[in-house]
Structure 1
Amino acid sequence: MIQQLKKIFNSLIRYDEENNVLSDNYQWFLTGENEVIGIDKKELTEKDVSILSSFLSPYNINLPILTKEEQQWKQLIHSGGQLAYFNAETAFRFVHFTFKKNELEPITFKEAVHEFFSKPVPILWENEHEGIIIEEQSPQLDEGISYEQIIDVLMSDLYVKINFFVGPFFNEQENIKQHYELIITTAPIVFSYSDKPVISYIDAVPSMLIDRTEPAFRNELIRVILGDLALDEELLHTIQTFMQCNLNISVTAKELYMHRNSLHYRLDKFNEKTGIDVRQFHEAMTVYLALLSNMHKED
């Protein structure tokens, strides 16, 4: 195919990592064989670009060139796990990351992340500021990896706020494409319900469920469970913090810089107004779903 295109576009070149620079003067594309090719923009019309984009993938020159392993993972995902020559040898998980546009060069982020692992991890970019880290489970070497610690170091060294949505480990590849797409589409939703920089898939399940319910049902939860307290931001913040601290009075009081007696007073106030004791797990879970609904309520 490349030879045929070369007959049409004389300026066509193959990208060679050792000898070429991804020039802004060229329009870059990724072939089905994961080969990067470029054509001088002066030789292309808008129609040419449109036609080429129908069977080639436009390539962002600001993103790192995919390694062989990253190419294989990309093909495995898009094939739905049906790839004869490549299989994940161990359990793996997808970790979605995002940071603000133009605050960090992708190659800088990639190099920084690799410092935390025993070997370079595959990274598949969605754009210049978000993508997926593919972490393969290796208990002997990487058991102590904490994305909270990675956040602390990266923010300290790079002065950039980064969010991680950490998926669960998988042993099978049958639904790999569906799971990959779920992580990509769910991450923005999950972070709209929380200001925590690192959120696990398990912790995100309640917000994922609430987001998939009808607005009418969410409004019903707010009305029935919270009532007039839906407007009491200070009290609701206290209740939510109490839940995030695993219903622990001492930890919550410390988190809120509040005396234990003052915290008990607020919990009692909520109980008096709603008839719900959030110190009981099942009642707390119901209130938590109402709080999530209240964060994205619709009039």
Structure 2
Amino acid sequence: MIEQLKKIFPTLCYHQTLPSTLEDTFKWYITEESHIIGIHQSELEAKDIALLNALLRPLHHLFPQMTSEEEKWKGWIFQEEIVPHIAINYRFVYFSIPTKQIDPQAFKEALNELFERETIILWKNEDEGVIIEIQQDGIDEELSYKEIIDIFMSDIYVNIKFFVGPFTSDIKGVKQHYEHLITGANIAFKYSDHHVISYLEAIPYILMEQIDPTFKKEVQKVVLQDFQHDTEFIKMIYTFLESNLNLSVAAKKLYMHRNSLQYRIDKFHEKTGIDVREFHQALTVYLALISTE
């Protein structure tokens, strides 16, 4: 589509991520792939703008001015600048916000207040981006994104999701880390409805995503057997596994009596020969449940 538009609008410019500045003489849009395109207003008539608004999402000037740190990281990640040999420990945290719940400027101000320092953010579009967190020397306590979620949802009324990458000191691999984080986030939120997911927690989802669909169905059939289409059971056993195999915790989440949950787990064991109270068998069932997503 980009090439076709380029033939119609020769001034069209294209960016894979949000550029440092957006010239006011251009109309800016976001593609389905979250890429940014701009077309000079001199080439656009009212009918052109109406058509582009129907095909693409207009990009409004809601983004805060990029800081020198953000410019630096953008240059390293997208290979616009040579990555230096420096000692630094960092991690990427992907975030996603429902459209029009909060504008980028207000979101960054809220994060700055929570972090009590200037936040480094690279925006993909108005609804998603990546926080770059530098591990501070002498500070042991890591920021809890589950606490941030509570603040955003209860105080600011923003329904946000975070995918938290691991800390790394491999600055030379910054581009690859960024790409893996985005890929991992897209997969993780496809499988899980949790608002905060770490990269380590998402590894089973990432692995299952790479398995052949026919093999996934075979896993479901072999492991879950007659229970594979029992949505109530699927929810129950998934909650039990997510509760670290703790009957009391799972029963509370499910609003079930502990004995009722125990009875259903025993029934599953009796019919399939699989005991989800045993770690390795529980892991097998967990992977089978993930494959049903």
2:263 counterpart of 1:268: no
Q: Which amino acid aligns with 1:225?
A: V
- The one-letter code matched in structure 2 to 1:123 is I
Mapping for residues 1-299 of structure 1, pairs under 5 Å: 26-27=25-26, 41-42=41-42, 44=43, 61-79=61-79, 82-84=82-84, 89-138=87-136, 140-141=138-139, 143-295=141-293
Largest Rg, 1 or 2 = 1
| Closer/same/farther in 2, CA of residues 81 and 214 from structure 1, 3 Å limit | farther
Supply the AA of the counterpart residue of 1:216: T
Instruction: Report the residue type matching 2:93 in the other structure.
Output: V
| Secondary structure class of the residue paired with 2:114 | coil
Per the alignment, residue 53 of structure 1 pairs with: none
d(CA) in 2 for partners of 1:239, 1:138: 40
Instruction: Output the amino acid matched with 1:169.
Output: F
Shift of 1:290: 0.4
Which amino acid in 2 is paired with 1:170? T
1:158 alignment partner, SS class? coil
1:141, distance to aligned residue in structure 2 (A) = 4.2
Aligned mates of 1:193, 1:290 — CA distance in 2? 12
SS in 1 for 2:155: helix
Give the superposition deviation at 1:275: 1.0
Provide the C-alpha distance between the structure 2 equivalents of 1:270 and 1:153, rounded to a whole number of angstroms. 40
Task: Report the alpha carbon displacement of residue 103 of structure 1 after superposing the two structures with TM.
Answer: 1.8
The residue type equivalent to 1:226 in the other structure is: L
1-structure distance, mates of 2:91, 2:22: 31
When residues 110 and 142 of structure 1 are mapped into structure 2, their CA distance, relative to the original with a 3 A threshold, is farther
Give the TM-score taking structure 2 as reference length.
Answer: 0.79
Q: What is the one-letter code of the residue matched to 1:106?
A: P
TM-score (norm 1): 0.77
Deviations along 1:205-248, one digit per CA (max 9) or x if unpaired, are 00110011110110110111112211111111111111111111
Which residue number in structure 1 is paired with residue 6 of structure 2? none
Q: 2:40 & 2:175 partners in 1: Cα distance?
A: 34
Contact 1:93/1:135 (8 A) holds in 2: yes
Cα pair distance change 1:95/1:142, threshold 3 Å: farther
In structure 2, C-alpha distance between the alignment counterparts of 1:28 and 1:179, rounded to whole Å: 32
C-alpha RMSD of matched pairs (Å): 2.8
Query: Given residue 225 of structure 2, which amino acid in structure 1 is its aligned partner?
Result: G
Deviation of residue 39 (structure 1)?
Answer: 9.7
Report deviation, 1:155.
1.2
1:132, 1:202 → 2: CA distance? 18
Q: Please say if residues 28 and 60 of structure 1, whose CA atoms lie closer than 8 Å, have aligned partners that are also in contact.
A: no
* Contact map agreement 1:80 1:175 (CA 8 A) in 2: no
Unaligned runs of 5+ in 1: 1-8, 10-16, 30-37, 47-58
Number of equivalent positions: 254
| CA distance 1:115–1:141, change in 2 (3 Å) | farther
User: Cα distance, 1:62 vs. partner?
Assistant: 2.4
Q: Which amino acid aligns with 1:75?
A: G
* Contact in 2 for aligned 1:116/1:145 (Cα 8 Å): no
Aligned with 1:135: secondary structure?
A: strand
Higher mean C-alpha deviation, range 181-190 or range 235-244: 181-190
SS of the equivalent of 1:123 reads strand
Kept after mapping to 2: 8 A contact 1:80/1:173: no
Counterpart amino acid of residue 217 in structure 1 = F
Q: CA deviation at 1:82?
A: 3.9
In 2, distance between residues paired with 1:128 and 1:214? Answer: 34
Partner Cα separation in structure 2 for residue 88 and residue 147 of structure 1: 27
Question: 2-side partners of 1:182 and 1:245: how far apart?
Answer: 28
- Residue 252 of structure 1 deviates from its aligned partner by 1.3
Query: Offset of 1:90 from its aligned partner?
Result: 2.9
